[in-house]
Amino acid sequence: MINFEKNAEIDLTMKNLILSMVDMNNYLTDILNYTDSVLTPQSEKELIKILKKYKVPHEGLKYDLKRLTNNPYYKNIKFENVLTDTVWYENSIIKKRTLMNMDFHKTLGKYLFHYHPLGYFDSDINLQVLKDKNRVWMSPAISEITSMNDGLEKGHGKCLTLGLGIGVLPYLWLLKDDVESVTIVEFNKDVIDLFEKYIKPQFKTNKKLEIIHGNAMDYFTEDFLKKFDYVYADFWESTEDGLALYTKLMEKKVNLSHVDYWIEDSILYSLKNIIAPYLFTLYENKSISTFISSLDNQSRTLAKKVNKYFKRNTDIVTTEEELLYFIHNKKVLREILAQ
Ligand SMILES: C[S@@+](CC[C@H](N)C(=O)[O-])C[C@H]1O[C@@H](n2cnc3c(N)ncnc32)[C@H](O)[C@@H]1O
């Protein structure tokens, strides 16, 4: 079992980790009434006060519309409202001054506080959206595009993506000189048919674009993934459904460095939020089984994986750096989920 030296540095780090989780919860509660609502000048001032209180960076909340309209997908690809049995394309108007997430997830400090950059546009915008009855699958919103940026930049040669959506990433990949072909695995035939009919004809490219109708889980094998130079998994809607699906991918123990996962850092925060109080419980010599049984179902499953991992570990943690390694190191986090 992992062990700790009782010293002032570890004491303080444990406290800071737990405090940052408390801060995080308070921050989310404080901004809840403002997100997705139209800001008045008064509510904008109140919100800026909150951001200052938590030291969240904000260079003004008003975003230049060009950040959206300059994006080639937003500029060039258009579609009308279309309905199928399972999904539909929808043109939705977002009212000016509506406060939105402009990106996914930025960390602040070295503990567990993080935030999503917030902002609004000063004019109404039209967003073309792919929805099903429960969720918004994809739109060319700034947060979607910036959160895929890493995958966009790393894409080269033969690219594979898991999850078609409205083909934003495939479109942007195909514009890159160093991308040779794009393959997509998508499990909803209606999503594929809509794309083939309304969007693909607008892709002015001679490069190979192949869509495989299938479940991404079945294609997540070393043999298949090795056929590509770069792979990007993006078949979840947010961190909420993403955690379970990402965990299933990790359990497959495919270890390839050319595979990336949309919003992985955000997804891993849920796990970090279990590891920190788990290690604190151990440090305080309190009961791990009481801690685990106090959690909801999904967290309990994760906490059991955390427990399994640290039971096998024989390290003695003596410094803040060593403790933070077990909270933030991606290899550790992936290994925990893979069990
Ligand atoms: C967030 S969207 C992908 C957005 C895409 N990257 C883009 O640029 O437009 C997720 C897509 O994954 C699909 N999907 C969900 N679960 C899947 C699965 N198990 N296998 C394959 N596709 C899946 C959904 O139908 C949806 O089209």
pLDDT at position 339, please? Answer: 95
Tell me: pLDDT of 25 over 80.
yes
**How many whole angstroms separate alpha carbon 162 and alpha carbon 266?**
18
Q: How far is the CA of 179 from the centre of ligand 1 (A)?
A: 21
pLDDT at position 105, please? Answer: 83
Percentage, residues of the chain above pLDDT 90: 93
pLDDT at position 27, please? Answer: 97
Q: How far is the CA of 38 from the centre of ligand 1 (A)?
A: 30
pLDDT at position 178, please? Answer: 98
Q: How far is the CA of 155 from the centre of ligand 1 (A)?
A: 18
Atom of ligand 1 nearest to the CA of 245: 19
Q: How far is the CA of 119 from the centre of ligand 1 (A)?
A: 26
| Among candidate residues 258, 240, 250, the one with its CA nearest the CA of residue 299 | 240
Atom of ligand 1 nearest to the CA of 167: 9
Question: What is residue 199's DSSP assignment?
Answer: I
- Segment 20-42 shows an average pLDDT of 96
- Segment 89-99 shows an average pLDDT of 94
Instruction: Look at ligand 1, atom 3, and give the residue with the nearest C-alpha.
Output: 165
Mutate to test the pocket of ligand 1, among 164, 203, 209 (most ligand atoms within 8 A of CB): 164
Tell me: pLDDT of 103 over 90.
no
pLDDT band at 44 (very low <50, low <70, confident <90, very high): very high
Average pLDDT for the chain: 96
Mutate to test the pocket of ligand 1, among 138, 252, 267 (most ligand atoms within 8 A of CB): 138
Q: How far is the CA of 165 from the centre of ligand 1 (A)?
A: 5
pLDDT band at 133 (very low <50, low <70, confident <90, very high): confident
Tell me: pLDDT of 148 over 80.
yes
Tell me: pLDDT of 256 over 90.
yes
pLDDT at position 84, please? Answer: 93
Q: How far is the CA of 162 from the centre of ligand 1 (A)?
A: 6
At 209-231, the pLDDT tens digits run 999 999 999 999 999 999 999 99
Q: How far is the CA of 167 from the centre of ligand 1 (A)?
A: 9
Instruction: Look at strands 316-317 and 259-261 and give their pairing.
Output: unpaired
pLDDT at position 220, please? Answer: 98
pLDDT band at 60 (very low <50, low <70, confident <90, very high): confident
Instruction: Look at ligand 1, atom 26, and give the residue with the nearest C-alpha.
Output: 165
At 258-292, the pLDDT tens digits run 999 999 999 999 999 999 999 999 999 999 999 99
Atom of ligand 1 nearest to the CA of 185: 21
H or E element in which residue 268 lies: helix 264-283
Phi-psi region of 163 (alpha: psi -120 to 50; beta: other; left: phi over 0): left
Q: How far is the CA of 132 from the centre of ligand 1 (A)?
A: 12
Q: Are 262 and 145 in contact (CB under 8 A)?
A: no
Q: How far is the CA of 236 from the centre of ligand 1 (A)?
A: 6
Total count of residues recorded for the chain: 339
Ligand 1 pocket at CB < 6 A: 137-138, 161-169, 185-188, 191, 215-217, 234-235
Tell me: pLDDT of 195 over 80.
yes
pLDDT band at 151 (very low <50, low <70, confident <90, very high): very high
Atom of ligand 1 nearest to the CA of 232: 6
Instruction: Look at ligand 1, atom 16, and give the residue with the nearest C-alpha.
Output: 235
Using CA atoms, how far residue 282 sits from 6, 22, 202, 278, 294, in Å, is 12, 19, 57, 6, 15
Tell me: pLDDT of 104 over 80.
no
- Segment 64-76 shows an average pLDDT of 94
Instruction: Look at ligand 1, atom 10, and give the residue with the nearest C-alpha.
Output: 235
Which of 194 and 104 is assigned the larger pLDDT?
194
Beta-sheet strands, E only, within the chain: 3-4, 82-83, 88-94, 100-101, 106-107, 114-115, 118-119, 125-131, 136-138, 157-162, 179-186, 208-213, 230-233, 259-261, 316-317
pLDDT band at 203 (very low <50, low <70, confident <90, very high): very high
